[in-house]
A and B are shown apart, each in its own frame.
Chain A
Amino acid sequence: MSSNVSRRSFIKQSAVVGASSFIGAGMLSCQGGEDQPATGEAASATSRGPRSNAISVVTGDRYFDNTILAVDQIGGMGQFVSEGSRVAVLANPQRNNPGAFTRPAVVAAVVSMCREAGAERVSCLSWQPEQNWENTGIAEAISKEGGELVIADRRDESLFNPVPIPSGVALEEARLMAELDNYDVLIDVPITKDHAGNKFTGTLKNFMGLNSPESNQLFHQENWTTDIGAITHLEQCIADLNTVITPDLCVVDATEFITTGGPFGPGDLLRPQKIVAGTDRVAIDAYCCTLWGLAPHDIIAIAKAFEHGLGEMDLSKVQISEVQA
């Protein structure tokens, strides 16, 4: 796919072009100009891969191999990444506490598959400090597979593009990493785990990792109010944010994660040893929350995302393919 002619954007609505610079591996420069969608232009969010609520689940302790198997079960990475693609990967490097970050082998497998599918460039995008990527081992793992790390200075708002959210209920505007516009494919690679406020985090909430920290703070009520209304607000904002980001593929690390003390840990660890892959993020989150006894309809973000039409939360309507590897 030619980047100049048919570059897809992950952003449904337009973004104001901002001059930006990034720190991290390679000191990249993010370009504005003709390759950026103009203000008011609705960019395509059509995904190239299969769009269904089918999800694949592979259980076992060979995490790298099982990640590949999970993606193969839904058609293989070639369904999502073509020759010359530029792939953005969103992993979770929050902290190297056990069960609090995406396992390096899972991210490495995703990068490896993308490269094998012919991707020209595979980058983990983040505003988390580079130290987190190093301490978690993800930086080294992706480097070995030919991927790179692209980190935006989280305090530099010019590196984030304002993106209106027309169907937002609680959030009117997102501020997404401008660097995102330089990629053709977006792969969401979170760890599923506990969260202090909403009890669950997975594919949906992971996209706060592309939204600017300053904007993310709006997800939390003023003065850190923590009543249930604040939790609902946070969850609604997460669902709203997801209306302007469409991942091509989600690969979730559910191998070992905290079920208490989230999202930072430490906490009680559960080891389902599962890799979950698919394109329906709502269905995937609905499945993952059941791994530790939560009901999808009790997770507000899942219910709100379903209301937005972002996917299926009724697991009886989801085609789940489970493999023991």
Chain B
Amino acid sequence: MPLRTRYGFSYYAALLSTVGYLIGCSSQQTTENSLLSLLPQSGEADGWSPAEPPQHAVGDDLFFLINGGAEVYHEYGFEQAAVLSYSDENNRSLNLEMYEMRDPAAAYGIFTFKRGDDCLSLDIGDGSCLQDYYLNLWKGRFLITVIGFDTEQETRDGLVSLARSAAQKIDAVGRRPPILAWLPRVGLDETSIRYMRGNLALFRSYEFGTGNVFGVTEGLTARIGEQVVFAFQYSSESEAARWFDTAFEQLSQSEKFRNVALRDGTLSGLDPDDQHLVGIRHLNCIVLVLGDEPQALTETLGIVKQRISSHSG
């Protein structure tokens, strides 16, 4: 069995030592101090207490903490993280990870990246999702993940309790990125929304190809009924036009996509699963819809286009 000893004095000594070091440094490290102070302490989360000193990473050092998992956090905009284990009087254990991201949109983005499709939304923080053995939430610039080791009710109660405790210590409130307004409301599967800030998040959602097909710096994907919508925003209309041309070229040369064509500004083709893909460039955006019925895809494309127009400058 894993050793999950209560650290008692040594835990607090380590924590104080870390905090003391941080206080003595720059203003940015005052923020680090703040992160550690946001971790729930004994007596704050229904019997859950820290079982070990927190592990902490700033900037590139996230690699040391979570190795290859670091890349996607950096893609969204990562500042610092702390991870630690908790235990209760029944020797049950939970892990808690707290990530401070560059801004609320980054926190929301990594939240959407990490949550699964079939999760239960709870009223914690600015958004939260409970799954069978773990819970993700975001609040302000923070992402919090609480992880259990089984799916028993006591464990799931603990996930919620620890998550609430951590969220309560964060004063800030975050707002979802404005581009979410582009999505049609009818048929939208909220838990399928993935907000992206780069190619890796897109790659993990859907593989358009092995090149840099869309040059994503900001975008989203979501299921609308049986369809999947992709929308990417660029710095200017000319930039969007350039990437639209690039995407057409790459999809045309792709071994996976077939019948790729561009007619009257509308891109179309068939993906490896014989799903129809249609796409347009509109203002400084590219919008694509994937699904079975070409006519329905075109209708969805029109709705998204209209919503982009109504929410643009």
Which residues does A use to contact B, with CB under 8 Å?
Answer: 94-98, 129, 131, 134-137, 139-140, 154, 195-197, 199, 201, 205, 208, 213, 216-217, 220, 224, 226-232, 234, 260-269
Do residues B2 and A266 form an inter-chain contact, with CB atoms below 8 A? no
Tell me which residues across on chain A come within 8 A of B116, comparing CB atoms: 260, 267-268
B12 interface contact, C-beta 8 A: no
* With A220-B63, A226-B75, A263-B68 as contacts: A196 and B147 at CB distance below 8 Å: no
* With A154-B64, A220-B63, A261-B114 as contacts: A228 and B3 at CB distance below 8 Å: no
Contact residues of A: prevailing secondary structure: loop
B103 interface contact, C-beta 8 A: no
* With A131-B55, A135-B4, A196-B72 as contacts: A226 and B198 at CB distance below 8 Å: yes
* With A135-B2, A228-B212 as contacts: A213 and B204 at CB distance below 8 Å: no
List B63-89 residues whose CB lies under 8 Å from chain A.
63-64, 66-72, 74-75, 83, 85
Q: Given the complex of chains A and B, what is the CA–CA distance between A322 and B52 in angstroms?
A: 42
Tell me which residues across on chain A come within 8 A of B227, comparing CB atoms: none
Q: Given the complex of chains A and B, what is the CA–CA distance between A224 and B199 in angstroms?
A: 11
| Least Cβ–Cβ distance between A100 and chain B, in angstroms | 9
Q: List 19 A-B contacts (CB under 8 A).
A: A96-B149, A98-B147, A131-B52, A134-B2, A135-B2, A137-B1, A140-B3, A196-B204, A197-B71, A213-B63, A216-B63, A226-B75, A226-B203, A231-B200, A234-B68, A261-B114, A263-B69, A264-B67, A265-B147
Query: Which one of A195, A228, A264, A265 lies within 8 Å of B211 (CB-CB)?
Result: A228
B128-169 interface mask toward A, CB cutoff 8 Å, 1 = contact, 0 = none? Answer: 000101100000000001010100000000000000000000
Do residues A97 and B147 form an inter-chain contact, with CB atoms below 8 A? yes
How many residues of B are in contact with the other chain, CB < 8 A?
38
Query: Which one of A97, A98, A135, A220 lies within 8 Å of B3 (CB-CB)?
Result: A135
Query: Which one of B60, B71, B83, B95 lies within 8 Å of A196 (CB-CB)?
Result: B71
Tell me which residues across on chain B come within 8 A of A140, comparing CB atoms: 1-3
Tell me which residues across on chain A come within 8 A of B204, comparing CB atoms: 196, 199
Do residues B133 and A228 form an inter-chain contact, with CB atoms below 8 A? no
B173-214 interface mask toward A, CB cutoff 8 Å, 1 = contact, 0 = none? Answer: 000000000000000000000000011100110000111100
Do residues B66 and A231 form an inter-chain contact, with CB atoms below 8 A? no
| Least Cβ–Cβ distance between B12 and chain A, in angstroms | 17
